[in-house]
Chains A and B, each alone.
Chain A
Amino acid sequence: MLKNSNIIKVISLLVILPFFTTGVARAEELNVKEFILEHLADSYSWHITRWGDREMVVPLPVIVRSREGGWSLFLSSKLDHGAEYKGFSISQEGAYSGKVVERNGRGEVVRPMIDISLTKTSAALIINSIILLLVILPLARWYKTGTMKPTKGFLGAVEMLLVDIQDEVIKVCVGEDYRRFSPYLLTAFFFIFVNNLMGLIPFFPGGANVTGNIAVTFFLAICTFFTVNVFGNKAYWKEILWPDVPVWLKVPAPLMPLIEIFGIFTKPFALTIRLFANIVAGHSIILGLICIIFITSSMGAGMNTGMSVVSIIFTCFMFFVELLVAYIQAYVFTLLSSVFIGLARAKHEAHAH
């Protein structure tokens, strides 16, 4: 009986819901593409929601160095609605659309020399970093006393994840001296995982598209790139510069070395794009499915109700998929980094082939 009454509640809610949404959506036609891109992109302020006529926005500090020299630090709320402050404004169109710009001496619109504003993604990055520390450090504190007692509850879950990655990925892929690289690889794993999960929470302080930002994934890939190439052994460099192939492939024209050198850079590139694309795709699909509700609001209550049900079912499904993806992408990044490091550290066994 209880189950039935719950179903009735949900259905009645879904019937009522469109009447609210229609009111909102009629006010301005929704541009789906813009809506999605806006949510995926970085911004200078953290827009939470709109409550009636009031926008709920967390202003974030804008930190810029003008081309004329001199640092400026002010809150992003000063630049709301295209306002200008100290010669800075947020460009509404053109190449710098959405970025802070200034007007130089000749009246041209240019980007400031340095723009290290604490944007939405940066702020989320810092929040998530703190969360990450709050997840890992208690576990370290638990073990610092030298206790042999097993961890319980949340710490136990974190430990399970950590030990699993360490034993099944890092130890297997990196090889003998995995201990040297496991702190980096574990940091990368948990960093990506926490950011992925926080990105799935639809409201503040989650919801920022951190790991779906190419700067973030690019940085992580660069870290792996340096680790691989700094700690690569002689065999690794020989394999690149003088690979084990017929001589004519390397002597007059260094065909194979060229390909191998190219390979050094494609690896981090693949890491960058894989993580970025997966997270962006997931967010886009969820946003797109949510948009169905608002798009169909103009097609009448019946249509809208039906499509809302469909949308919510699909969104729920996508959220589950995204939970999986959040883990898988962190896992894959760690796995590939481990494999790359492992290959660069391998004692040359390829000779045997």
Chain B
Amino acid sequence: MSLLVPDTGLLFWMTVSFGIVFFILIKFGFPVITKAVEKRHDYIEHALEEARMAEEKTAVLHSQAQTILQDARSERNKIIDQAQDIKTKMVNEAKEEAEREARHRIERAQAEIETSKHLSIISLKDEITGISVKIAEKVLGQELEDDEKQLALIHRIMNREVVSKV
């Protein structure tokens, strides 16, 4: 039955040892540990929160960058399209201009050709006229060499002219 009776000597030692242990631990042990653990707990929570916020921020930034990129891309496409348009327009214009110029030149050349043709025809006519006059002179000179021939001619012409008139 002595098992069930608390021994006073042991109670004394228990009081002493538990008291000392309790005092030391309450002074240097548990509060230090629990405070540090709680501090670390807060720190970790804080860090996690910050990390979460940073992540959100990067997500926002990323989406912003994405939109900027998208904008830039569409802008680029627009610019390229515009450039394409301008290019085709310029080419067309240049083509038209060239055509017009060419036509103009051709027309002018034709006009020139026409004029020069005209002129050459005129000069040719003149020449031919000169030549024919000369020929006529020569022919006439030959025919009018002697009087008989001159008279024969005069007769012939006279006949023709007078007969036709009468």
Contacts and interface: CB of A to CB of B under 8 A. Distances in A.
Contacts of B129: none
Contacts of B31: 183
A318 interface: no
B36 A41 contact: no
Given A148-B39, A214-B6, A220-B18, 20 more contacts: A41-B2, A122-B13, A122-B14, A122-B17, A126-B17, A129-B20, A140-B28, A143-B33, A144-B32, A147-B36, A148-B43, A163-B37, A183-B22, A184-B22, A186-B34, A187-B29, A214-B5, A215-B7, A215-B11, A218-B11
Interface of B: 2-15, 17-18, 20-22, 24-26, 28-37, 39-40, 43
Contacts of A159: 33, 37
A331 B3 CA distance: 24
A280 B21 contact: no
B10 A213 contact: yes
B10 A140 contact: no
Interface residues of A, number: 50
A183 B7 contact: no
B57 to A, nearest CB: 24
A133 B10 contact: no
Interface in A127-143: 129, 132-133, 136-137, 139-140, 143
B11 A187 contact: no
A117 interface: yes
Interface in A19-62: 37, 40-42
B21 A191 contact: yes
A182 B34 contact: yes
B15 A219 contact: yes
Given A163-B37, A219-B11, A37 B25 contact: no
A216 B10 contact: yes
B9 A115 contact: yes
Most interface-central of B2, B9, B15 (chain A CB within 10 A): B9
Given A41-B2, A148-B40, A162-B33, A116 B15 contact: no
Contact of B3 (A40, A191, A218): A40
A125 B13 contact: yes
Given A40-B3, A121-B10, A214-B5, A139 B33 contact: yes
A184 B18 CA distance: 11
B13 A42 contact: no
Interface of A: 37, 40-42, 63, 97-98, 114-119, 121-122, 125-126, 129, 132-133, 136-137, 139-140, 143-144, 146-148, 150, 159, 162-163, 166, 179, 182-184, 186-187, 191, 213-216, 218-220, 223, 280
Nearest to A220: B18
Contacts of B28: 137, 140
Contacts of B21: 129, 132-133, 187, 191
A4 to B, nearest CB: 46
Nearest to B31: A183
Contact of B18 (A63, A121, A186, A219): A219
A203 to B, nearest CB: 22
A143 B4 CA distance: 42
A125 B32 CA distance: 25
A138 to B, nearest CB: 10
Contact of B9 (A116, A129, A150, A184): A116
A187 B25 CA distance: 7
Contacts of B14: 122, 125, 215-216, 219
B13 A140 contact: no
A37 B18 CA distance: 26
10 closest cross-chain pairs (CB), A and B: A143-B36, A122-B13, A215-B6, A215-B10, A183-B30, A140-B32, A219-B14, A183-B26, A116-B9, A129-B17
Nearest to A123: B13
Contacts of B33: 136, 139-140, 143, 159, 162
A149 B12 CA distance: 41
Contacts of A280: 3
Of the listed residues A118, A148, A186, A215, the one surrounded by the most CB atoms of chain B closer than 10 A to its CB is A215
A130 B26 CA distance: 15
B7 A42 contact: yes
B149 to A, nearest CB: 149
Given A132-B21, A133-B21, A214-B6, A146 B30 contact: no
A126 B21 CA distance: 9
